[in-house]
Amino acid sequence: MRLSLISALAAASLLAGCSFDSITDRITPYRIDIRQGNYVDQSMVAQLKRGMTRDQVRFVLGSPLVTDVFRTDRWDYVYRFRPGLGEVEQRVISVFFADDRLDHIDGDVTGGDAKSAVDSQQATRTRVVEVPAAPKD
Spatial CA neighbour of 63 closest among 41, 50, 51, 78: 78
Give, as one character, the DSSP assignment of residue 136: P
| Dihedrals phi, psi of 127, to nearest 5 degrees | -140, 130
pLDDT of 54 reads: 92
Question: Is domain 31-111 classified as CATH 1.10.8?
Answer: no
Percent of the chain whose predicted confidence (pLDDT) is above 90: 12
Q: Where are the domains of the chain?
A: 31-111
pLDDT at 100 > cutoff 60:
yes
Mean pLDDT across 9-37: 74
pLDDT of 126 reads: 45
pLDDT at 131 > cutoff 50:
no
For the chain, the C-alpha Rg in angstroms (whole number) is 28
Confidence grade of residue 43 (pLDDT, cut at 50, 70, 90): confident
Confidence grade of residue 7 (pLDDT, cut at 50, 70, 90): confident
